[in-house]
Structure 1
Amino acid sequence: MTKITFVSPDGEERIIDAEDGDTVMDAAINNDVPGILAECGGACACATCHVYVDDAFMDKVGTPSEMEESMLEFNEHRQENSRLSCQIKVSPDLEGLRVTAPESQY
């Protein structure tokens, strides 16, 4: 299990024990984290699992794939640290990961 902190747009924090091998999106959905909609179920087809990754973890989560980039390209809430949580695999290297949900997934 890897601890991940999910931060809502209003600053509320929830620490979740995530299963290694799952995605950050899976951890959010399995624990009813508000702000992560995941309408496509993790197929990298909707961008409704968009999160901002804490700067300290940007190297550890890696860079977005071309497909993920194309999903984020037109997102009006995109920032340099934007990722789709369905594309981030949970591993012990991500212990303490902090991600923040944007004001809106649309």
Structure 2
Amino acid sequence: MPVFEEMAGKRIAVPDKVATIRTDTKKVLGVVGDGYKVVQNIEAFGFFDTVVGEGQAIYHTAGALGRGERIWMLAKLPKDMVVQREDIVEKYLILTNSHDGTSSLKI
């Protein structure tokens, strides 16, 4: 979708920019450069499986913020860590991604 900016009551095209849009509601999530690649949630979660090993992590919680422009997923890793023979530390990883161009996919 081309991006337009209002200037003196007129819409003008903004070169090299596109809008990311939810397919279900048609709402704009953000404005990004034309080289931006959308990583769908299912792709992001599949990437997570390749990083931790399929079946290794227990998916704990996932969610979206705002209108869906930011998503996250929390997973518990197997085998807790024991510190000083008595302190048990549970291991977790969180995956975050944005659909508005404000950040990249991160684990």
TM-score grouping bracket, smaller chain normalisation: under 0.3
The structure in which a higher percent of residues are strand is 2
Return the structure number with greater relative CO, CA threshold 8 A, min gap 6: 1
User: Max radius of gyration: which structure?
Assistant: 2
